[in-house]
């Protein structure tokens, strides 16, 4: 028997730059603050009634180790009867935390659960502690540069020569401009949980906004940036997400339990899918995962009215859009901007996509279905299809 699973609410800390405002902050404290902020916004939820907590981190050592799901649950002050566990699917960690708990809710094992993700890339530089098996290269399982995400983005440009650097830069600029516009309208701040932060020079402060956005970005400035992954390449710091710190948390429930408790319903989960591609072009992963999810749901891409695509690299988003015949500047795609502007603290980003989509659902009752999707290191993609609870039946 399968039950309907809903997203009740989602929040995140402001995202910081690696080495920036969270340089003196622990990763687990970021996660704890997100969980507490989520529960503070949902006072109808009895903390002892939470069935499980799944928290993701891509680097599970130090302040992101010791089973971050259980340790953050305890540190957040939840009853010790509430269990927790950690998840790792690299960039799609929080997305996988959501889908894993959703499966438990769908079969009746859980009623209410918390999913989230955290990444402190300042404390844990990407690739820290990795020990790739020599067989990867000796047996040619992957190319040598497949473990460098920027190099895989350059390979994606190679595969799709129509996706030029100019197109990638233009997309990146648009992400910055949309983010700035969303900030001006107060659309992003409403779901940011203020976070205490300590600067070595200035002392304690309260982080209330994202640190990475660069609203002053221009095409001329983007054109002049270095291409660190290949001489005369196309991937730059300007058309990629940065190295970031932050945490996200989402409250999930069965639809029946949400209605019983009078909780908000921000999105209804339809289906989800993960798929694999060659590790050398990992950014293409969202294409097959979306095809798979659409087939499971009995839908087509034309049924999707809103898209939240993680902007690990501009080329990765453009490859997705090109495959499905969607314009680079389609207004349905990332209306609040994306990771190129606000940042991509690896395992946390999946919930940020869901949070943005849920907010867009509120103002687009003519849209019935939305999609959150992202590429994943070592050649994977993840896609989740959601139904708008505010849908009025009047499809444009």
Which sequence positions are flagged as catalytic?
91, 344, 375
DSSP class of residue 110 equals: -
Sign of the CA dihedral running 13, 16, 19, 21: negative
Residue 72 exposed, middle or buried by CB count within 10 Å (0-12, 13-18, 19+): buried
Residues 28, 75: Cα–Cα separation, whole Å: 8
Q: Which residues contact 124 (CB under 8 A, 6 or more apart)?
A: 27, 59, 61, 62, 64
Q: What is the 3-state secondary structure (H, E, C) of 276-335?
A: ECCHHHHHHCHHHHHHHHHHHHCCCHHHEEEEEECCCEHHHHHHHHHHCCCCCCCCCECC
Give the tokens for residue 102: 């959703």
- Cα separation of 167 and 181, whole Å? 21
Q: Are strands 112-120 and 52-56 parallel, antiparallel or unpaired?
A: parallel
Three-state SS string over 69-91 comes to: HHHHHHHCCCCCCCCEEEECCHH
What is the Cα–Cα distance from 185 to 100, expressed in whole angstroms?
Answer: 34
Q: How far is CA 209 from CA 45, 185, 238, 342, 386, in A?
A: 27, 13, 20, 10, 27
8 A C-beta contact, residue 68 and residue 118: yes
CA distance 247 to 314: 23
């Amino acid at each position: 028997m399968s039950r309907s699973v809903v997203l009740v609410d989602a929040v995140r800390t402001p995202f910081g730059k690696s080495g920036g405002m969270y340089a003196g902050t622990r990763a687990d404290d970021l996660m704890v603050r997100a969980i507490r902020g989520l529960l503070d916004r949902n006072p109808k939820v009895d903390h002892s009634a939470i069935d499980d907590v799944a928290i993701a981190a891509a680097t599970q050592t130090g302040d992101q180790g010791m089973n971050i799901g259980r340790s953050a649950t305890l540190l957040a002050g939840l009853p010790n009867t509430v269990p927790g566990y950690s998840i790792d699917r690299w960039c799609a960690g929080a997305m996988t935390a959501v889908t894993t708990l959703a499966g438990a809710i769908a079969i009746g094992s859980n009623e209410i659960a918390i999913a989230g993700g955290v990444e402190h890339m300042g404390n844990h530089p990407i690739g820290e502690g990795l020990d790739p098996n020599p067989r990867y290269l000796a047996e040619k399982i992957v190319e040598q540069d497949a473990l460098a995400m920027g190099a895989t983005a350059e390979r994606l440009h190679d595969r799709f020569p129509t996706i030029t650097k100019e197109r990638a830069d233009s997309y990146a600029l648009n992400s910055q401009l949309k983010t700035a516009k969303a900030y001006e309208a107060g659309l992003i701040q409403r779901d940011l949980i203020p976070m205490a932060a300590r600067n070595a020079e200035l002392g304690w402060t309260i982080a209330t906004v994202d640190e990475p956005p660069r609203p002053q970005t221009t095409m001329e400035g983007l054109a002049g940036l270095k291409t660190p992954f290949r001489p005369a390449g196309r991937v730059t710091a300007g058309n990629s997400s940065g190295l970031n710190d932050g945490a996200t948390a989402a409250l999930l429930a069965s639809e029946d339990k949400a209605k019983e408790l009078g909780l908000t319903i921000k999105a209804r989960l339809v289906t989800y899918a993960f798929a694999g591609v060659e590790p050398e072009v990992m950014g293409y992963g969202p294409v097959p995962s979306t095809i798979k999810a659409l087939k499971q749901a009995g839908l087509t891409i034309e049924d999707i009215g809103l898209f939240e695509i993680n902007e690990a690299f501009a080329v990765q988003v453009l490859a997705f859009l090109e495959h499905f015949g969607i314009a680079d500047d389609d207004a349905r795609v990332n209306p609040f901007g994306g990771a190129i502007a606000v940042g991509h603290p690896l395992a946390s980003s999946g919930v940020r996509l869901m949070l943005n989509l849920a907010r867009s659902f509120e103002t687009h009752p003519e849209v019935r279905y939305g999609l959150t999707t992202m590429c994943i290191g070592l050649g994977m993609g993840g896609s989740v299809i959601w139904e708008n609870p505010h849908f009025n039946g009047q499809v444009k």
